Amino acid sequence: MTITEKKNMARVINCFAIFFVLRFVEEFFILPKMSFNTHSMFACTVGIVVLFIYLWSENKSFEGIGLIFSHRKIKKGFLNAVLLNIIPLVTVYPLAYLLLKSKYAYVRATLYFDSPKHSFSGGLKPFLLLIAAALVVAVVHAIFYELTFRGLLMRLCSKTFDFAKTNIIQASLYTLWFIISAVRVAVFSGNSLKSIAALFGFFLVYEFMVAIKLGLCKYASGALWICLFDHMAFCFIGDVLHFQASALNGRIAGGGHEYLVLVAYQAVSLLIAFIYFSKRKKKIKKSRQEAASRQRSLSKSLPGSSEQEA
């Protein structure tokens, strides 16, 4: 590793360490004193500050930040992200509900906000406002966590490593990023090390599935949108959308169902990405071959081309 590569790697580690400390402070000292929406907006504020400091220091425009997969503009690839995220969301979650319905006598899907008392019973308008607020938080949370944490790490790593290694590094660091949440849950709820290991295993599987999916769309537009949509779904399903097993408790006994739903959601999205981008890659390869064939035919038909070959 050259001196320049070592310096770039040091920047990656420093960037991760700064975010890791901020995450620790947020989870252990700020989150317990705040509601879900409040702590998320605090995290976004930190992300905004870091984002614009980086843009100012590197003299970059807003479209120059984020993921390194495509040089196309941010507005490109929106439909690809819709395809890879909305379809799994509307298929996996109803199926999970039906499976749990067959297992438990009483199951319903609930929207859990800052308190279990927030429900449809409060009226349609307040209920819809709560949904809108949760979606806004998820959107802002996704934009700045993906652009700052994942985006900065990937851009710094890409200066030293190739795309495959960069993707593996960012997935691994992103998994370590979430272990703070796992530790906090275990500490405040009194869970065992087994629970921490289970949560860490979930984040490891989930993030590497995201990394594989992003790798499939390396040369296609939509990678940034896909990351943002993934994060929105993660926030909304993991923090708001829950299964309720009885009229008394907030979640199904035993827990973990939201994590399984998220893994299933990501698996379906990954399958769609593999099918879609494999066909697209074949189509692009075929068009390039046809273009090369036409170019060869054109060069042969030009006057004097046969004499030059002779």
Is 308 inside any structural domain?
no
Instruction: Note whether residue 304 is domain-resident.
Output: no
The predicted structure's pLDDT at residue 232 = 75
**Token pair 């199904």: residue:** 252
Distances, alpha carbon 14 to alpha carbons 18, 21, 245, in Å: 6, 11, 45
The answer to whether position 104 is within a domain reads: yes
- Please tell me the distance from the alpha carbon of residue 262 to that of residue 152, in angstroms, as a whole number: 25
Quick one: pLDDT at residue 251?
A: 47
| Structural domain boundaries, residue 267 | 3-299
Q: Is residue 306 part of a domain?
A: no
User: Does 245 map to a domain?
Assistant: yes
Q: What is the pLDDT of residue 248?
A: 43
pLDDT at 189: 63
Rounded Cα distance between 299 and 301, Å, is 5
Please count the structural domains in the chain: 1
| Alpha helices by DSSP H, the chain | 3-25, 36-58, 78-103, 124-144, 151-158, 163-189, 193-216, 223-239, 257-301, 305-309
Residues of the chain with pLDDT under 50: 36, 63-66, 68-70, 114-122, 247-254, 309-310
Backbone angles phi, psi at 241, to 5 degrees: -90, 115
Q: Please check whether residue 261 lies inside any domain of the structure.
A: yes
Question: Is 305 part of a structural domain of the chain?
Answer: no
Judge whether 41 lies within some domain. Answer: yes
| R_g of the chain, CA atoms, integer Å | 23
Strand partners, 242: 110
What pLDDT score was predicted for residue 250? Answer: 46
* Residue pLDDT, tens place only, 224-272: 677 777 777 777 666 666 665 554 444 444 456 677 888 888 888 888 8
